[in-house]
Structure 1
Amino acid sequence: VLIRVLVVTLIVLVLALVVSPIFIRRLAHRLTGPLSDLSQSTKHAAEHAKTGVVMLPVPDKPTEVTDLAKDFNDLLKQLHDRQEQQKLFIMNAAHELRTPIATIRSHAQLIERHGRAHPEIVLKSVNYITEESRQMQQLIEELLQLSRADRLTLDTHLLNLSETVQHLAEKLASAFSQTIEVHVTPNMSVESNESAIEQILDNFVTNAAKYSPADTIIAVNLTRDDDGNAVLAVLDQGAGISAEDKSHVFERFYRSANVRGTVPGTGLGLAIANQLATINNGRIKLRDNQPHGTIAELILPLATTKERHQLNES
């Protein structure tokens, strides 16, 4: 019996030694074949990256390589989209800067050629140059702010939003021809960055004033919604925003066709405000006012009861 066991064991060992390398070789080929193809496709994608996004072929099996190829394609698409956004941003920035530079050059040449003979044009041209320079400065500052906002982390602290909104709205009231009415629910606190909140509210009110008649009312309201959020809303009585424009207003440099060239602006304000809201764990919402106009809302999570007690004690 012992001899039989030894013989069977020996046969099994021999078979294992013979079969195992064949099985391992087939398994390795099953994995390395698709991986090798994927590697070659990756090299091809890298070589042709400048011509556009190149997607990798996705094998049906094995599952591990299929998933890896899909992950690679997702990454390639994200990188391509990011690159296209950067290209578009640079093109738009160059276009927006080209106009004021051309205006400044034109008026400088006008002064140079005719300033002595016609001194009355000097002051007018200087005023144009000053205004275009101011717009260029604003655009450059907003471009820098946008570039920083992509990687910005803000220092936040427990903030009495009611006091902040009340103070800023009263300060803004003297800057515009419209009447600004403020309705603030007291003692509303959020974990946020005060400077960012002020900039968002300033953008909301400035936009409302730009697109509203001078004899209308701009309302600044701070309320609480049913989900326990603070809602900072600015309501104007202007022409409103079309459904088409609403889907684009947060894009950089976007301006509605019916105001481009007639209402000053860079098309960057809401893009910056939207990024600041996101960094503050909030969101911006635009909806129609009735019977006409726009309601711009900043929605932020309210501080917990414990956090509010800490603010009151401090």
Structure 2
Amino acid sequence: MSNNHISSIEFTTLCQSQINLLAESLGAVWSIVYLAEEVIEDGETQLFPLAIYPQTQNQSLLELPSIKLEEVWQQLQSHSSAQLLPANFVTAENPAKSDWQTDSAERKQLILPLVHQETFIGLLVTGREDREWMQTELKQVEEIARTLAIARFLELQYHWTQQELTIQENLRRIERDRLDNLIHQLRNPLTAFKTFSKLLIKRILPGDRNHKVAKSLLEQSDRFQQLLEQFEAESIKETAINAPTPLLDVRDNTELPSNFLLPSLNTQLDAVNLTEILDPLLNTAEAIATERAIKLENNIPPSIPLIKGDLSALREIFNNLIDNALKYTPARGKVQLDIETKYITTEVEMLGIAISDTGYGIPEADRERIFERHYRGIQAQSDIPGTGLGLAIASELVIKMQGEIELISPNHLSKNSPGTTFIVWLPVSINNE
């Protein structure tokens, strides 16, 4: 069942005031407003009571049953009295179901459909016992029914519009995240590309014809980096102005796609040798570290236990963490990789890859939010470029692989700087021999 029969307080108040008007002006002794609602289970339209007159302490709308629209139309077509609401329901001390089904020949009951712009909205049922309805009175009742139909139609239209706006905002946010992820993933290979271009320029003699080619590569990579930084600045400004908040997905709880450029991890995790992933990443990191006068130390042995994971996801995780360590470590600093193990249970062993640096550290105030998207904390005030996406992406992917990221800051790797350590814990594969 959908939520279309749920009404605002304003509309419910309007309904109650209109059926009170029927009693005061036209002498109606009972009235009720039903709203139409399509039931998903059987696809039929049913009517649910919303407002009733008169209201007593013993009367409750919950005691009224819902009514199938098809049955109402059949009763109307056969010119029989429609048993929507018994005359004695609101006056009986303890009405029983049998009372609801009785008929009174003296009762003069009216059933008016609430329709606006060819949309069936519900029914207005009213009646009196002392006299027939006059033509002028019928017009007044029809006008009340028309008022209720227009008001309900406008309320539904507002609800549908809000739903559509929410869906569009969700889709806009998803597209924004996709673009942010793309921009973020372009940063690391661009940094490596610039570094290799600089190394080529140093190694190729100025008279060599390839020297100009290498210089052109560096110039174009600088231009590319400027464009990325310009886009990121505009993106951060837009995010701050719009101040987006999490939105609910209103499309039957269907999960919206996200992180479109990142591994989906929909397939079963494989047994993975982390050294096969880390070695090529460290080759690139070594060139960047040399350019920045940073010592890169790899203490991970060639032979380590296999872990359960996804190759592309692991590559993204460690690429982000190593890049962060190099980015936030000043010249003459150190970045170090180590291996650790622990047991969660007697049967579940976790392998940890620790990436430590002698950088600026992470203040305590920033640690709780450090894995949030676009959150950079105190680093946002520095001149170090970034989008606040690397750690968020890494954390999301690690969690999907049933692992966790541990943060240690300060890490005591250096006495001269606080430093930071991130340990990626992943379950050891049972396929280890």
Q: TM-score, normalised by structure 1?
A: 0.55
**How many Å separate the matches in 2 of 1:226 and 1:32?**
58
In structure 1, the partner of 2:327 is 210
Aligned residues: 221
d(CA) in 1 for partners of 2:177, 2:429: 39
1:294 to partner: Cα distance? 0.9
Does the 8 Å contact 2:407/2:421 carry over to 1?
yes
3-state SS, counterpart of residue 239 of structure 1: coil
Q: Residue deviations 1:187-242, cap 9 Å, x none? A: 31112112221221111111111111111111111221233101111011111112
Separation (CA, whole Å) in 2 of partners of 1:95 and 1:148? 10
AA partner of residue 365 (structure 2): E
Q: Does 1:193 align with 2:193?
A: no
Relative to its length, the structure with more helix (as a share) is 1
Pair 1:182–1:127, CA change in 2 (3 A): closer
Hey, what's the Cα distance between the residues in 1 that align with 2:162 and 2:174? 19
Aligned counterparts of 1:296 and 1:161: Cα–Cα separation in 2: 16
Aligned to 2:43: none
| Distance change in 2, residues 1:154/1:94 (3 Å) | closer
Q: Is residue 2:386 matched to residue 1:265? A: yes
Distance 1:167 1:300, change over 3 A: same
- Could you tell me how far 1:179 is from its partner in structure 2? 1.0
Per-residue displacement from partner, 1:257-293 (whole Å, max 9, x unpaired)?
4434611112221222122212322222222133311
Is the contact between residue 221 and residue 233 of structure 1 (CA under 8 Å) also seen in structure 2?
A: yes
Gaps of 5+ in 1: 1-25, 34-39, 53-79, 98-122, 310-314
- In structure 2, relative to structure 1, the CA distance for the partners of 1:175 and 1:273 (3 Å cut) is same
Aligned partners of 1:214, 1:270: CA distance in 2, in Å?
A: 22
Alpha carbons 1:158, 1:189 under 8 Å: kept = yes
Task: Give the match for residue 179 of structure 1.
Answer: 295
Alignment of 1:71-82 (within 5 A): none
The one-letter amino acid of 1:168's match is: L
Give the structure 2 partner of residue 165 of structure 1. 278
Q: CA deviation at 1:156?
A: 3.4
Code of the residue aligned with 2:331 in structure 1: it is A
d(CA) in 2 for partners of 1:198, 1:96: 15
* Among 301, 304, 307, the residue aligned to 2:427: 301
| Residues 263, 312 of structure 2: 8 Å contact kept | no
Q: 1:276 aligns with which of 397, 419, 423?
A: 397
Structure 1 or 2: larger strand share?
2
Amino acid at match of 1:216: G
Distance 1:30 1:275 in 2: 49
Tell me the distance in 2 between the aligned counterparts of 1:126 and 1:172.
21
8 Å contact kept, 2:343–2:350: yes
Could you give the per-residue CA deviations for residues 138-197 of structure 1, whole angstroms, max 9, x where no partner exists? Answer: 99xxxx983344955356321122443355334422222311111225331112112221
Q: Name which of 340, 357, 362 aligns with 1:236.
A: 357
- Letter in structure 2 aligned against 1:207: N
Percent of aligned positions that are identical: 23
2:178–2:261 CA contact under 8 A, matched in 1: no
Evaluate the alpha carbon distance shift between residue 261 and residue 288 of structure 1 in structure 2; reply closer, same or farther with a 3 A threshold: closer
Give 3-state SS (helix, strand or coil) of 1:223's partner. strand
RMSD: 4.6
Matching residue within 371, 376, 384 for 1:250:
371
Match for 2:428: what amino acid? L
SS at match of 1:281: coil
Pairing 1:116-131 to 2, within 5 Å after superposition: 129-131=223-225
Q: Is the 8 A contact 2:409 2:421 kept in 1?
A: yes
Q: How has the CA–CA distance of structure 1 residues 231 and 216 changed in structure 2, closer, same or farther, with 3 Å as cutoff?
A: same
Q: Which deviates more from structure 2 when the two are superposed, residues 201-210 or residues 255-264?
A: 255-264
- Which segments of 5 or more consecutive residues in structure 2 lack a partner in the other structure? 1-58, 67-121, 123-153, 183-215, 234-256, 413-417
- Distance in 2 between residues matched to 1:166 and 1:95, nearest whole Å: 27
Measure the CA separation in 2 of the matches of 1:284 and 1:166: 21
Q: 1:146 aligns with which of 234, 259, 265?
A: 259
**Which residue of structure 2 aligns with residue 133 of structure 1?**
227
Question: How far apart, in 2, do the equivalents of 1:95 and 1:166 lie?
Answer: 27
TM-score scaled by length of structure 2: 0.41
Greater C-alpha radius of gyration? 2
